[in-house]
Structure 1
Amino acid sequence: MPWIETISFDAATDKLKQLYARITGPGGNVDNIMMMHSLRPHTMEGHMALYKNVLHHRDNTTPKWFLETLGIWVSALNKCTYCVEHHFAGMKRMLRDDTRAQAIRSAIEAGDPTAAPLDPAQQAAMVYARKLTQSPADMVESDVQLLREAGWDDGGILEINQVTAYFAYANRTVLGLGCSTQGDIIGLSPNNSANADDWGHN
């Protein structure tokens, strides 16, 4: 049970009901992380807009499965099991290589992303995400330069930064309010990247 009151899909009215209708998955399922916002629907609206645009926008150039991998890594560093489980299931589905997905997860669980089957540019992104998550005040310009040297352009660097920052927010929403996976359908995501206003989960 969450640590604050939440409003179920069936009990929702007005603005909340409209937002729930936009983000539902199969059978009217609403992810618990979104239900955490139900007493202040405007914060749910802000959360979903950020999530959709950071991870699931057509103009991103970084493969979506790798953006999810960064999210799993940040969530593991923050010890947010909820986000690890949800986003691992999504990454695994997108990657379509269960053996590789599990090897990535094992490396993350060991705290050693260099052991993951990722290319050098992706490895560099994982190093950047770890430092930004654990020691944000220690970030320096050379951290970005290392990403450039690994092959990322500045747009890709921005995507890495924003995914890392988004998961810091999502992890703290979950951990600070007692959000669990109970009743969730693990791994759903808003997969219509062509339409930024389509928040439906499948």
Structure 2
Amino acid sequence: MSWIDVVPYAAAKGKLKKLYDRVKGPDDNVDNIMMAHSLRPHSMEGHMAIYKYVLHHSGNTLPKWFLECLGVWVSSLNDCAYCVEHHFAGMKRLLADDTRAEALRAAIEKRDMAQAPLDAREVAAMAYARVLTDAPARLGVGDIAALREAGFDDGEILEINQVSAYFSYANRTVLGLGVNTQGDIIGLSPNNSDDPDDWSHR
């Protein structure tokens, strides 16, 4: 599950048990990325809050499938198979188009967004996310201007930035602690965007 000790659901007490109950999925399943925080429940709480607000909030205007696609892209750039598998499954479900989802994954694996079934605006967002992931200090005001020219408003640019930044954080949590998918139910997420306090995974 991970390289550090974790507290299983059955042994959780107090605040940790309350948090597990908020984030769990079917059959009391808690994703391993969340269980990796179990020795410091306050960091799980912070992680879930930013995850829910950045990716699964009704205040976002970009399509959720595309935010998930950005997450798969960043996770692939970071070689984080755990997040790729979880969020590709989520993206595929949201797209409801298996052929397009598989074509997106193939382009991501080839690092060739020009071959992805995306429009020019979406390709521009993916290019920004790549630089933010691989060489963030290279970014400048011109990169923001390019996103505006592609058709994004500044609120949407913030969404792209925050989703991309969040996934690098999640990837480093997973890779730095040896978190794997053993026992996870792949692709569950807190999809109820209308209720920011609903963290349950379905």
Please give the range of the TM-score, normalised by the shorter of the 2 chains.
over 0.9
Determine the C-alpha separation between the residues in 1 that align with 2:105 and 2:76: 10
1:13-70 alpha-carbon deviations (Å, 9 max, x no partner): 0000000000000111000000000000000000000000000000100000000000
Q: Secondary structure at the match of 1:79?
A: coil
Determine the C-alpha separation between the residues in 2 that align with 1:201 and 1:30: 8
Q: CA deviation at 1:8?
A: 0.2
TM-score in terms of structure 2 length: 0.99
Give the corresponding residue for 2:150: 150
Please show how residues 139-178 of structure 1 align to structure 2 within 5 Å. Answer: 139-178=139-178
Determine the C-alpha separation between the residues in 2 that align with 1:54 and 1:121: 20
Q: CA deviation at 1:73?
A: 0.2
Determine the C-alpha separation between the residues in 2 that align with 1:5 and 1:200: 23
Determine the C-alpha separation between the residues in 2 that align with 1:174 and 1:98: 27
The answer to whether residue 120 in structure 2 is matched with residue 120 in structure 1 is yes
Q: How many residues align?
A: 202
Determine the C-alpha separation between the residues in 1 that align with 2:89 and 2:123: 21
- Matched AA of 2:135: S
- Matched AA of 2:72: I
The answer to whether residue 35 in structure 2 is matched with residue 70 in structure 1 is no
Q: CA deviation at 1:114?
A: 1.5
Determine the C-alpha separation between the residues in 2 that align with 1:192 and 1:117: 27
Where structure 2 has 5 or more consecutive residues not aligned to the other structure, the ranges are none
- Matched AA of 1:26: P
Q: CA deviation at 1:2?
A: 1.1
- Matched AA of 1:168: S
Structure 1 stretches (4+) deviating beyond 6 angstroms?
Answer: none
Q: CA deviation at 1:191?
A: 0.9
1:115-136 alpha-carbon deviations (Å, 9 max, x no partner): 1000111000000000000001
Give the corresponding residue for 1:5: 5
Determine the C-alpha separation between the residues in 2 that align with 1:79 and 1:158: 24
The answer to whether residue 183 in structure 2 is matched with residue 183 in structure 1 is yes
Q: Secondary structure at the match of 1:10?
A: helix
Give the corresponding residue for 1:83: 83
TM-score in terms of structure 1 length: 0.99
Report percent identity of matched pairs: 68
Q: CA deviation at 1:96?
A: 0.2
Where structure 1 has 5 or more consecutive residues not aligned to the other structure, the ranges are none
Give the corresponding residue for 2:55: 55
Give the corresponding residue for 2:130: 130
Determine the C-alpha separation between the residues in 1 that align with 2:109 and 2:168: 18
- Matched AA of 1:24: K
Please show how residues 32-47 of structure 1 align to structure 2 within 5 Å. Answer: 32-47=32-47
